Structure 1
Amino acid sequence: MAEHHEGVPVGVLLLESVNRLRAAETMLQTRARARMALRASDFQALQFLAARGSVGAPARATDLADVLGVTSAAATQTVDRLVGRGLVERQPDPDDRRSRIIRLTADGERGLSEAYEDLPGAVQELLDAVPTAEAERMIALAAAVQVVVDRTATRSL
């Protein structure tokens, strides 16, 4: 499936590849979100909480506000909706009694898992087959691009 790319700058090829990955990821997320009958921000919040939980890192409403790019009040409303659905819970913060830790419930974890259960096995196999060194280079490149974008975005405000 090799394509002829002679004369096309590598940066253009990389951006085209990122766009194709983004489109595929958007389709997967849209299907998963529809299965859970959630709005986009609520689904994004669940994914964030799952990622934080997978590494044992606590999450607070302020963390969620930063990730979603919303106010603390909007993040609290998101948490309220998810608590109401039984997908997340608030727990006392052992480091700050005024704050609450937000975690996925077992239902939230199960819902996310079921929402993505049809992730094509072939896609997972492709991702798992990427050599560690290559994956680390892609991760580092994505992080470096994000730093530049963040830096230039704050200058233009």
Structure 2
Amino acid sequence: MTANAVKEGYWYGQETVAVEVLNALRDYRSAEAAMRRRTGSSMGMGETDLLALRYLLENERAGRDVGPKELAARLGITSASMTTLVDRLVRSGYVVREPHPTDRRALVLRPTKGSDLEVRNTLSGMHGRMLDVAASLSRGESLVVMDFLRRIREAIDQVEPDVKPTGQN
């Protein structure tokens, strides 16, 4: 057991390997968030902007159209915030608004060709290092990690949004 497993966690004094695993997961999530901030900063955009652009690039590669309403739902932001975000991405040259191919009242958001190239150039080194680490796992280790992450995601997805903190009515 590492000394910081209990000191840095909020797992209420439990000293188990499970706590160490959860602390390692929290450390990873913190490192990933910091990386997104650094990447966004180097590209002149905020973390939400970068998440939006990544989602648009993924859908563009899959041949799926994404409108502002879908993107707002994905990011968990209001339509007013979405308008501000899209305006910012359009102004910076990362996204264009286009008419929807079948609904003339709707818009589709598309990443520009330059945005895909810039994201790839900015993140390619990190992605290569991450792929190297994942490739170093045996097939069995990979299956264990994937199963763990799937079950952790399911546990997180079960959090009830209207639960009030203790002591509040």
TM more than 0.5 = yes
AA aligned to 1:20 is D
CA distance in 1, matches of 2:110, 2:145: 29
Residue 53 (structure 1) shift: 2.5
1:138 paired with 2:145, answer: no
1:124 paired with 2:131, answer: yes
**What is the aligned partner in structure 2 of residue 8 from structure 1?**
16
Tell which deviates more after alignment, 134-143 or 21-30. 134-143
**What is the aligned partner in structure 1 of residue 53 from structure 2?**
46
CA contact (8 A) 2:37 2:46 kept: no
CA contact (8 A) 1:28 1:119 kept: no
Q: Which has the higher contact order (CA 8 A, sep 6+)?
A: 1
**What is the aligned partner in structure 2 of residue 107 from structure 1?**
114
User: Which of these residues, 59, 62, 72, is aligned with residue 65 of structure 1?
Assistant: 72
Secondary structure of the corresponding residue to residue 109 of structure 1: helix
Residue 35 (structure 1) shift: 1.2
Residue 9 (structure 1) shift: 5.0
Alpha carbon RMSD of aligned pairs, Å? 2.7
**What is the aligned partner in structure 2 of residue 88 from structure 1?**
95
CA distance in 1, matches of 2:136, 2:147: 15
CA distance in 2, matches of 1:89, 1:137: 38
**CA-to-partner distance for each residue in 1:36-94, whole Å, 9 max, x for gaps?**
01122212211221232233332111122112222112102211111111111122222
CA contact (8 A) 2:94 2:112 kept: yes
| TM-score, normalising length: structure 2 | 0.75
Aligned length: 152
**CA-to-partner distance for each residue in 1:107-129, whole Å, 9 max, x for gaps?**
11112112213317443211234
CA distance in 2, matches of 1:3, 1:97: 60
CA distance in 2, matches of 1:71, 1:122: 35
Secondary structure of the corresponding residue to residue 64 of structure 2: coil
**What is the aligned partner in structure 1 of residue 36 from structure 2?**
29
Gaps of 5+ in 1: none
Secondary structure of the corresponding residue to residue 117 of structure 1: helix
Secondary structure of the corresponding residue to residue 75 of structure 1: helix
Secondary structure of the corresponding residue to residue 97 of structure 1: coil
CA distance in 2, matches of 1:30, 1:99: 31
Secondary structure of the corresponding residue to residue 118 of structure 1: helix
Secondary structure of the corresponding residue to residue 125 of structure 2: coil
